[in-house]
């Protein structure tokens, strides 16, 4: 009888702990930010927008790091995407932490920086001036973006727009 009762109690305890973990998953942080990656074609001058994939930082999707996975909600990484067309990055965390753009790119597994973003190196000389990467931040309620050099250390904020621009003119 003891051989059955002890393992049964252990299974109930572990199952209850797992259920409690997911059933009471209430975020301490819950906001979103918009990420635009604009690439200007060197030959035509036309701009295209690249959005992160739908499954970045979600179970069964792209998860190139698990550093903060225990801080996420419902198995998601605390910084993740939910669709492929909006460019929205969701920040949903059980702890209060200053998550950065670098944290998102780390879970995505993509390069980020002034010299190379998404595998596209800077200083491509298409026509005329070289193409460079520039990072522009549009704060909520503001009408113009501000250039920044924070890149991977930029702390994500509610309702801001981050524009990573690959062009000959940058944020100008």
* Per-residue pLDDT tens digits of the chain, which is 172 residues long: 656 645 545 545 544 444 444 445 778 889 998 898 888 776 677 888 888 878 999 999 999 999 999 999 999 999 999 988 889 999 999 999 999 999 999 999 999 999 999 988 887 665 566 788 999 999 998 989 999 999 999 999 999 999 999 888 888 6
116-117 and 88-93 strand pairing: unpaired
Q: CA 77 to CA 15: how far, in whole Å? A: 22
Record the pTM. Answer: 0.80
Tokens of 91: 């920040």
Cβ pair 116, 63 in contact under 8 A:
no
pLDDT given at position 75: 93
Tokens of 79: 């910084």
Tokens of 118: 């998404």
Q: CA 160 to CA 142: how far, in whole Å? A: 10
């Amino acid at each position: 009888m003891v051989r059955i009762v002890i393992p049964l109690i252990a299974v109930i305890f572990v199952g209850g702990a797992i259920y409690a973990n997911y059933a009471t998953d209430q975020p301490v942080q819950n906001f979103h930010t918009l990420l635009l990656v604009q690439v200007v074609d060197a030959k035509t001058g036309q701009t295209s927008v690249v959005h992160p994939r739908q499954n970045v930082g979600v179970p069964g999707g792209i998860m190139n790091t698990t550093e903060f996975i225990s801080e996420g909600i419902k198995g998601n990484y605390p910084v993740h995407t939910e669709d492929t067309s909006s460019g929205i990055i969701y920040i949903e965390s059980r702890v209060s932490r200053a998550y950065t753009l670098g944290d998102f790119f780390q879970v995505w597994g993509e390069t980020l920086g002034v010299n190379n973003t998404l595998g596209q190196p800077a200083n491509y000389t298409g026509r005329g001036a070289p193409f460079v990467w520039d990072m522009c931040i549009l704060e909520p309620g503001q009408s113009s973006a501000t250039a920044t050099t924070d890149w991977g250390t930029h702390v994500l904020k509610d309702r801001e727009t981050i524009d990573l621009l690959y062009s000959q003119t940058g944020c100008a």
